[in-house]
Structure 1
């Protein structure tokens, strides 16, 4: 299993629009083979990034998503926010899960 964390720096004036974009997302990733879950994390301190965290069965499954038509369709909507909505380039991090614990409900 892998995690993919996309750290996105959003200007505070655009935070509400950014969050709405995820609440209204197309959900295309949800149907992809190997997709496990998606979290959108709001920063608790000013100046810190939002984190879009996805869990995948494998790196190959994630790469299949990034090369799919569904990926391009889903990310075409990202043009709905102007460039000034983002204060810095996003940072993508991929990690292998070496340990995992979970209760029955999140």
Structure 2
């Protein structure tokens, strides 16, 4: 299992717009080999921003890497630059390979 996360600092007052962009975009993820699930997470509020993280789970790092080179990736990110005023700084990517997984049976 591989988890790909991007952390976003969203300017105060832009949270609803940020969430709408994510809710309405066509990511094409559900059609991709190795894709397991996606989450958009809202985190703590700070003085000037609210922290968010996008979190995708993949069967392997290779599946994630294949997605980043795909047309689906380019289409999903085509308008990302149009929303820059919403962000403070650039998104921060973090990738993790699962070492141990415990699930509820």
Is the 2:15–2:50 contact (alpha carbons within 8 Å) kept by the matching residues of 1?
no
Query: Where do residues 92-103 of structure 1 align in structure 2 (5 Å cutoff)?
Result: 92-103=93-104
Give the aligned partner of residue 4 of structure 1: 4
TM-score (norm 2): 0.88
Q: What does the per-residue CA deviation read over 1:21-79, in whole Å, with 9 as the maximum and x for residues that have no partner?
A: 11112130121110111010001332452000011111110011000001000111323
55, 58, 62: which one aligns with 1:56: 58
Structure with higher strand content: 2
Is the 2:12–2:50 contact (alpha carbons within 8 Å) kept by the matching residues of 1?
no
Give the unaligned 5+ runs of structure 2: none
Alpha-carbon distance in 2 for matches of 1:99, 1:66 = 25
Is the 2:35–2:57 contact (alpha carbons within 8 Å) kept by the matching residues of 1?
yes
Is residue 2:41 matched to residue 1:41?
A: yes
Alpha-carbon distance in 2 for matches of 1:12, 1:102 = 36
Aligned length: 103
Give the aligned partner of residue 72 of structure 2: 70
Question: Which secondary structure state, in structure 1, belongs to the residue aligned with residue 85 of structure 2?
Answer: helix
Question: Which secondary structure state, in structure 1, belongs to the residue aligned with residue 39 of structure 2?
Answer: strand
Structure with higher helix content: 1
Give the unaligned 5+ runs of structure 1: none
